[in-house]
Structure 1
């Protein structure tokens, strides 16, 4: 009986350890992101700007450019550059990173905490929308969003080109299977 209790207690103890590590990880995330959340008003005053990745500016300038994209490997490399700037495409399955539910909950709690801090610091700015317009922060925000949209459009175009050329992912959508030659 004593052995059975020990066997049943071990997984519970390990789960407790994982939850403790997850909570510590969440606290560390809040600590790491605290400075950025508190300094969010600097973006409203246009004293700090989010840089636009070069690959997105290139996509915005010419989303249908196929120069030097003659092979599946070069199309795949360009898609990978866009993935790095934009994050995974909607056709990609969610990554199974092996994290525990408690770790994902800690991540969500840390994000919510940082969002609350950011919202609180920006709420102290009277006439925030006018300040964003007058400082140029609103225009920069629109430029960032336009570049992101152009990058998404280019990635979709390149994956279509990859499918037409019978390329394997990432030069084509993840569900696409090239036809045998």
Structure 2
């Protein structure tokens, strides 16, 4: 709770003169509040995060090349992975991406939501054991494993795209195909 009280002035400062960023931050806070307040449901394994099919496929066979012999099919598979994972780290900054004020506001909101999440889960005695016994820890690790496999597959496919002399997005953003 002390952590949350320390963040409230930062929320106010983030809103000073920030206009749209402050309104967006308030919206993000409102959207995330329910999930933060009901975090114990995750600890008791009563609510689980679903894993996109493309990540489960990547986990099952990250180096599968069936039907991926053309740049268009490689690019389409990378697009499916981007949809599940978000943009790759080699992607250039898009014009609609957040500016510094929006990034700081988002960080402050995330801190506030983390504080609420911590406050709602602190009452659970031996929380780490509860998470293990209910299967919540295993479910969390399963999601992390699928995300890692998806990232690995995306990197692999971009390497295959380079080998086939494909243009981005079937290769890294910096890659220029040979003519």
Class of the TM-score when normalised by the shorter of the 2 chains: 0.7 to 0.9
Q: Provide the C-alpha distance between the structure 2 equivalents of 1:39 and 1:178, rounded to a whole number of angstroms.
A: 49
Is residue 132 of structure 1 aligned with residue 143 of structure 2?
no
1:98 to partner: Cα distance: 5.9
The TM-score normalised by the length of structure 2 is 0.85
CA contact (8 A) 1:18 1:102 kept: no
Alpha-carbon displacement from aligned partner over 1:50-94 (angstroms, at most 9, x marks no partner):
111100000011111111112101100101111111122222233
Partner residue in 2 for 1:55: 54
1:97 to partner: Cα distance: 2.4
Alpha-carbon displacement from aligned partner over 1:131-170 (angstroms, at most 9, x marks no partner):
0000001111111111111111111111111000000011
Alpha-carbon displacement from aligned partner over 1:19-78 (angstroms, at most 9, x marks no partner):
123222211211111001111111110000011110000001111111111210110010
1:95 to partner: Cα distance: 3.3
Q: Provide the C-alpha distance between the structure 1 equivalents of 2:97 and 2:48, rounded to a whole number of angstroms.
A: 34
Q: Provide the C-alpha distance between the structure 2 equivalents of 1:135 and 1:38, rounded to a whole number of angstroms.
A: 19
- Report SS of the residue matched to 1:19: coil
Query: Larger C-alpha radius of gyration, 1 or 2?
Result: 1
Unaligned 5+ segments in structure 2 are 1-14
Partner residue in 1 for 2:178: 179
CA contact (8 A) 1:22 1:103 kept: yes
What is the alpha-carbon root mean square deviation over aligned residues?
1.8
Is residue 165 of structure 1 aligned with residue 164 of structure 2?
yes
CA 1:125–1:95 in structure 2 vs 1: closer, same or farther (change >3 Å)?
farther
Unaligned 5+ segments in structure 1 are 1-15
Partner residue in 2 for 1:21: 20
The TM-score normalised by the length of structure 1 is 0.85
CA 1:40–1:17 in structure 2 vs 1: closer, same or farther (change >3 Å)?
closer
Partner residue in 1 for 2:107: 108
